[in-house]
Amino acid sequence: MIVVVKPNTKEEDIQRLIKMIETQGVKIHYSKGIDHTILGIVGDTTLVDVAKIRSNQIVENVLRVQEPYKKANRLFHPDDTIIEVNGRKVGEGTISIIAGPCSVESEEQIVSIAKSVKQSGATFLRGGAFKPRSSPYAFQGMGYEGLELLKIARKATGLPIVSELMSLEQLPAFEDVDIIQVGARNMQNFILLRELGKIDKPILLKRGLCATMQEFLMSAEYIMKEGNDKVILCERGIRTFETATRNTLDLSCVPVLKKKSHLPIIIDPSHGTGLSWTVEALSKAAIAVGADGVMIEVHNNPEEALCDGAQSITPTQFDSIMKTLKKYAEIENKVM
Amino acid sequence: MIVVVKPNTKEEDIQRLIKMIETQGVKIHYSKGIDHTILGIVGDTTLVDVAKIRSNQIVENVLRVQEPYKKANRLFHPDDTIIEVNGRKVGEGTISIIAGPCSVESEEQIVSIAKSVKQSGATFLRGGAFKPRSSPYAFQGMGYEGLELLKIARKATGLPIVSELMSLEQLPAFEDVDIIQVGARNMQNFILLRELGKIDKPILLKRGLCATMQEFLMSAEYIMKEGNDKVILCERGIRTFETATRNTLDLSCVPVLKKKSHLPIIIDPSHGTGLSWTVEALSKAAIAVGADGVMIEVHNNPEEALCDGAQSITPTQFDSIMKTLKKYAEIENKVM
Amino acid sequence: MIVVVKPNTKEEDIQRLIKMIETQGVKIHYSKGIDHTILGIVGDTTLVDVAKIRSNQIVENVLRVQEPYKKANRLFHPDDTIIEVNGRKVGEGTISIIAGPCSVESEEQIVSIAKSVKQSGATFLRGGAFKPRSSPYAFQGMGYEGLELLKIARKATGLPIVSELMSLEQLPAFEDVDIIQVGARNMQNFILLRELGKIDKPILLKRGLCATMQEFLMSAEYIMKEGNDKVILCERGIRTFETATRNTLDLSCVPVLKKKSHLPIIIDPSHGTGLSWTVEALSKAAIAVGADGVMIEVHNNPEEALCDGAQSITPTQFDSIMKTLKKYAEIENKVM
Amino acid sequence: MIVVVKPNTKEEDIQRLIKMIETQGVKIHYSKGIDHTILGIVGDTTLVDVAKIRSNQIVENVLRVQEPYKKANRLFHPDDTIIEVNGRKVGEGTISIIAGPCSVESEEQIVSIAKSVKQSGATFLRGGAFKPRSSPYAFQGMGYEGLELLKIARKATGLPIVSELMSLEQLPAFEDVDIIQVGARNMQNFILLRELGKIDKPILLKRGLCATMQEFLMSAEYIMKEGNDKVILCERGIRTFETATRNTLDLSCVPVLKKKSHLPIIIDPSHGTGLSWTVEALSKAAIAVGADGVMIEVHNNPEEALCDGAQSITPTQFDSIMKTLKKYAEIENKVM
């Protein structure tokens, strides 16, 4: 980290600043220039509070040279993280396909969709039991019952299950869920993240609607810092000025996150645009851009879906998309 | 709500759609045009799921005519909501000044700041005990001890206290806090909102960094639907492409929210830009634009603040700002 | 177009509104509902001014059912537009590769890069002669001399050339340029667009940094309305809150624009992120998502490039990328 | 400017980089740290190409310490710029009120509005002759005839006139216009800016919809570099995710631009939100936040306005707003 001191600052003020910074467990390399004095901070700067230094009146600017995360940082963990879930791998070399309805609606629905997506080649079953809805009047999911139905569908197909946890008190009910999803709106629910860091279970962490990639990795760091390093990143669209799509799917985050971090990345095109007819094109692009898989909403009857039908595809469409995606996985030399 | 049916749709499909919509407790006014058939939905459309209708293949488009919130809607509650807190009013006719440090750091600090801001005319004391920080390595607040220190400062000054609740399990500790703040990152933590709707205490709801005004009011609706109608809205800057300021303070939300809703609105210029030297200008503008108050970070020693020092002003600066703000409150014919 | 009239409006006011709308060359289908009266506008609504209708005090809302563009609209032109440029096709079925330096710097530079990219399989040569730079102190391009050097490179390789026109008075000098590029900052320079509509030459229209897809197509419409229907759309990244990439490349615009319009779409990953090491991944994704080609910055010595070196790749890197892209074009059944 | 060199870089590569930078007319202060070597660039860094340095493989990061503009920079011009236009002052100490219709529609219309706004206290008359419209089918303004009508209105009232120039070839017709407006979409039409820098006439430069404040000032710099330092900045709303308002009026830009630059700043609330009923509140806020004036759309019959009626107020409303604004100018100790 580089601290640029304002011109004409008194030496004693600089010395006071140096002492303040050094209390944060780092060392200072002092360099007096013609206009500006520059302080190079040496050591573990993840613990250094940039905002605090910047608020000092003699500081012109602060430049981070190293990223503020460690566990999620490829620099300190050059190899790709590969996460094993019930014998299936998520991460480099494998394309994971997570499919299923936005929300679990009945045993018949979830079991039938599960069988169908499994036959088409999906590797995980998704299904929402607790649904974050912007309106308190909208369907909020089946809750605990939904989780039970997911387990029945898992039993019927062998597909590991992925479901969203909305609040800490639901955690006990997720003990037998294979991958816990943290939704976009909870990406900076730090207390939740911290607790999920204390369990031994893969976490599918969705990027917040207006989270920068750095904030996204910092949220992964919250989980990893506590000991759980099984974090799967999931890009699901960011909020921009564009209104033709519900969100703007940021596929360019894949090469950038892959460079900065060793964690696997899954793309969710269904939420990315909210338009079912874009799912095929964007799923292909997700594999081409280097993602480790896609998460696709599949519903047997999108028009009757209790939530987000406009972005769901039918099992028949899913089957056709899967055939195409396999060709892409092949060029990328990945198992699918 | 208006549903536009695609051209050349079979009559039986339209009838099926009508039946589906009517199961949601509303009536349909049917109008056959030359190109398009139009269905006018009559009744309480807050319960109607727009996304579901839009996902129907015969639907060209859906237009909401009424807002999806009721309790927060000025249409159904024309008078301004005025909230009483320990004998102080928040809402139309009064300018509330909430001042205090980003985080409580010690008894001496909080009591000294409380006394100082009270003398300058502040009406509420703010202080963070639980701090949401994007880095897990940053100072996370004093926690429960911080709440106790806030109460000591209240006792010393008589100022009601405002503090942020980060998670449901902290709720019991907030029983004796006068206004519970919900932070921007929790604006769509719907389970938290629902529980806060069941208590009888004012909630200061901060707008999410990328929340539209409609989403903001829907979050207020989550609280109000459960019975707690003491919601104070707080604009604290939205995320845009601009980087010169930390966020973009959206002052234009004040007249718009005032038109759509009857709830009081407070402006937080300190978080709005993250730049302490803009606080005075933006506080004046907040009063001029019609806000019901401002929330200002004041720290006795910003450079040593454990968080967000760059946006805090000193008690002396606060005192000077207050003198100016009083002139603005006067022109607006408001008590301050 | 659907106009929703406010409840309790007097019949005479509605009749006055109808007359006003009908002067715009359309007919009204009148429908009296229980709460709201609805006016369906029938006819060519591209000429109808939505803002004007919306400003009428008795109007609750206006809903566009049809897009406001005609020539660029797939509805009125179901077949894909394929543009021929010197015997090369741009559009459905073909992957066009436009490669070359950000700016032309010397004859040696441009001829050498042209030869190199041609050998790797590029189909067009790009090179900036007039450069829009945010600083007046930055290199502004070689100007007319740069255009001449481009022609020399075309002669040496046979590659058609693409270059950016910044202002109308430069137009005569572009007579012998094969494709005229309109930069992102000029996407809504309507007078320029109108004049380009009067010539018979392909226009590569770049999407503005904060242009919605609809605005993008409206700018294409400006050109096409005057008679020139050879418009090639080019997505080059939009501006969002993310700072890890210079812009956010919006690949989801491809399926959406393809559905709404018949015009070819090219992706520019180099400007999209500003990071040369993301170009390969994003180029693959561009083909996978259905784009008709990519535009890639190639420089023999990126570190010495007079502009935008950080986003340029070397001829060797380009050659390697081209080998990969061919595999993707193959799966997509496209000529490359 | 500070250049951070990557760890473990060879000394000869550093020396090569230093030489490259020094060819740009600056000197290097070399400082070898423990991890990183740091190069402090001393001298006039406005001419240094940051992108070029950043693209060098041995460079970790570049930190600008000084702003990239000079003429617009308060650092080099501490006093506020005050621009005289026909005896009226624009700038610190004065509140300028620019009022008039979005577009000139007839002699009767513009003269009548001019008289009316003058009587209410407006100091400048605005009126569009050339209108940038996103649809080629929308009314494009009266053109040259509109300018003539503006001059008639000026003669009738004495109010100096402000009108938008859309393209260079219109420049001769603007010789007798008092202030030339550059629209948001032309903020980065650099060739236009450069030519406007060569004339001696005040330029009202509107901020682009997605222009950062730095880009805004760089566009002012384009004009000033050529010799014309009569630049008036105008904030008119930026594009964000919010859809309740047409744009998001960024009032926080006022204190920031005032700190960075000495140029006057005018606020345009009418375009800022597109909602006429927010104009009063935002105009008050504009004065309170420190702007040097406001630009307000006034139309005698907003419902019949040929463009942007939804954001126009009537002369009667304008008169009432003016009375209120005067109170605000008074507290701010400004002439109005």
D28 near D6, Cβ under 8 Å?
no
**Residue B256: band (very low, low, confident or very high) from pLDDT cuts 50, 70, 90:** very high
Rounded percentage of chain C residues whose pLDDT exceeds 90: 76
User: Could you tell me the end-to-end alpha-carbon distance of chain B, in angstroms, rounded to an integer?
Assistant: 42
Helix, coil or strand: residue A94: strand
How many Å apart are CA C118 and CA C160, to the nearest integer? 11
Q: What is the pLDDT of residues C284-293, one digit of tens each?
A: 999 999 999 9
| Encoded tokens for A42 | 């040496």
On whether residue A77 sits in a domain, the answer given is no
CA angle at B55 for the pair B51 and B59, rounded to the nearest 5°? 105
Mean pLDDT of C122-145: 95
Q: Give me the long-range contacts of A143-146 (CB less than 8 A, separation at least 24).
A: A144/A173, A146/A103, A146/A104
User: pLDDT category, A155, cuts 50, 70, 90?
Assistant: very high
Identify the residue among A14, A21, A303 best suited for mutation to test binding to B, counting B beta carbons within 10 A and taking the highest.
A303
CB interface of C with D, residues 242-271, below 8 Å: none
> How many CB pairs below 8 A link C and D?
129
Interface of D with A in 46-65 (CB under 8 A): 60-61, 63, 65
Strands D96-100 and D124-126: parallel
Residues C161, C124, single domain; the answer is yes
SS3 category, C115: helix
Same domain, B105 and B50: no
CA distance C118 to chain B (A): 38
Find the CATH number of the domain harbouring D146.
3.20.20.70
Query: For residues A222 and A197, is the Cβ–Cβ distance under 8 A?
Result: yes
B248: β partners? B238
What is the arithmetic mean of pLDDT over A108-125? 98
Would you tell me how many other CB atoms lie within 10 Å of the CB of residue A86?
Answer: 13
Specify if A302 maps to a domain: yes
**DSSP state, residue D176:** T
| Nearest-angstrom CA–CA distance, A102 and A313 | 11
Do A129 and A229 belong together in one domain? yes
Q: Tell me which H or E stretch contains C151.
A: helix C144-157
**Identity of the residue in C240, C273, C288 whose CB atom sits nearest the CB atom of A248:** C240
Pair (D285, D166) in one structural domain:
yes
What is the structure's pLDDT at D125?
98
Q: Is B79 exposed, middle or buried (0-12, 13-18, 19+ CB in 10 A)?
A: exposed
Statement: residue C153 has pLDDT above 90? yes
Cβ pair A255:C238 closer than 8 A? no
Higher pLDDT, D45 or C200: C200
- Calculate the dihedral angle through the C-alpha atoms of C286, C288, C289, C290, rounding to the nearest 10 degrees: 90
The amino acid that residue D84 corresponds to is E
- The CATH number for D7's domain is 3.30.70.1140
Could you report the per-residue pLDDT of A210-236, keeping only the tens digit for each?
Answer: 999 999 999 999 999 999 999 999 999
Contact B282 D251 (CB under 8 A): yes
For A221-233, b/e burial (b = at least 16 CB within 10 A) is bbbbbbebbbbbb
Residue C7, pLDDT above cutoff 90? no
pLDDT over 80 (residue B252): yes
Q: Which residue has the higher pLDDT, A57 or A71?
A: A71
Q: Are residues A42 and A104 in the same domain?
A: no
Under the banding of pLDDT at 50, 70 and 90, the label for residue A327 is very high
Is A144 inside any structural domain?
Answer: yes
- Residue A6: DSSP 8-state: P
Query: Is C13 within a domain?
Result: yes
Q: What is the pLDDT of residues B281-334, one digit of tens each?
A: 999 999 999 999 999 999 988 877 777 778 889 999 999 999 999 999 999 999
Considering A13, A31, A63, which residue would you say is the last residue of a domain? A63
Chain segment A86-115, per-residue pLDDT in tens: 999 999 999 999 999 999 999 999 999 999
The H-assigned helical ranges of C31-84 are: 50-54
Q: Is C70 near chain B, with CB under 8 Å?
A: no
Domain match, D235 and D327 both:
yes
With residues binned 3-state (H G I as helix, E B as strand, rest as coil), the percentages for chain C, rounded to 5, are 40, 20, 40
All chains having 3 or more CB pairs closer than 8 angstroms to chain C: A, B, D
- Is the pLDDT at C250 greater than 90, yes or no? yes
Average pLDDT score over chain A: 94
**Same domain? C222 vs C302:** yes
In chain D, which residues have pLDDT < 70? 34
- What value, to the nearest 5°, has the Cα angle with vertex C176 and ends C184 and C167? 35
- Label residue C335 by pLDDT band (50, 70, 90): very high
Indicate whether C146 pLDDT > 90. yes
Is the pLDDT at B157 greater than 90? The verdict is yes
pLDDT at B147 > cutoff 80: yes
8-state DSSP, A298:
B
User: DSSP string covering D46-105, please?
Assistant: GGS-HHHHHTSTTEEEEE--S-S-STTBGGG--SPP-EEETTEEESTTB-EEEEE-SB--
From the list A4, A65, A241, the residue facing D241 with the nearest CB is: A241
Instruction: Look up residue D267 and give its amino acid.
Output: I
Q: How far, in Å, are B19, D104, D126 from residue D307 at the CA level?
A: 42, 10, 14
Average pLDDT on B76-95 reads 96
C51 — pLDDT class (breaks 50, 70, 90): confident
B228 and B309 together in one domain: yes
d(CA D278, CA D284) in angstroms, rounded, equals 10
Indicate if the pLDDT at residue C107 is higher than 80: yes
Q: Are residues B109 and B24 in the same domain?
A: no
Distances (CA, A) of B114 to B120, B316, C136: 10, 13, 51
Kindly give, in sequence order, each residue whose CB lies less than 8 Å from that of residue D176, ignoring residues fewer than 6 positions away.
D151
Query: D247 with D207: CB under 8 angstroms?
Result: no
My answer on whether C302 and C262 are in the same domain is yes
pLDDT at B55: 80
Q: Considering the domain boundaries, does residue A336 fall inside one?
A: no
Flag whether A163 is in a domain. Answer: yes
Would you place residue B48 in the very low, low, confident or very high pLDDT band (cuts 50, 70, 90)? confident
Report CA-CA distances (Å) from C160 to C98, C122, C196.
9, 10, 19
Using the predicted structure, report yes or no on whether residue B253 has a pLDDT greater than 80. Answer: yes
User: What pLDDT score was predicted for residue C38?
Assistant: 84
Q: What's the average model confidence in pLDDT over B183-187?
A: 97
Q: Rg of the Cα trace of chain A?
A: 23
Mean pLDDT for chain D overall = 94
Which residues of chain A lie closer than 8 angstroms to D240, CB-CB? 241
Structural domain includes residue B199:
yes
Pairing of strands D2-5, D59-63: antiparallel
What share of chain A in percent tops pLDDT 90? 76
Q: Based on the fold, state whether residues D178 and D251 are members of the same structural domain.
A: yes
Whether B76 is covered by a domain: the verdict is no
Domain carrying residue C30: 2-63
Q: What is the pLDDT of residues B206-217, one digit of tens each?
A: 999 999 999 999
Least confident of B71-75, C32-36, C237-241: C32-36
* d(CA D13, nearest CA chain B) in Å: 33
Q: Is the ipTM of this complex over 0.85?
A: yes
Q: Is B125 helix (H, G, I), strand (E, B) or coil?
A: strand
* pLDDT tens digits, one per residue of B217-245: 999 999 999 999 999 999 999 999 999 99
Interatomic CA distance for residues A215 and A237, integer angstroms: 15
pLDDT of the residue at B304: 76
C185 phi, psi to nearest 5 deg: -70, -15
8 Å CB contact of C132 and D167 = no
Cβ separation D242–B282 shorter than 8 A: no
Order of strands across the sheet that contains A59-63: A27-32, A37-42, A2-5, A59-63
User: Alpha-carbon distance B70 to A168, whole Å?
Assistant: 29
Mutate to test the interface with B, among C6, C61, C65 (most CBs of B within 10 A): C65
Exposed/middle/buried for residue D193 (C-beta within 10 Å: 0-12, 13-18, 19+):
buried
Residues A27 and A173 in one domain: no
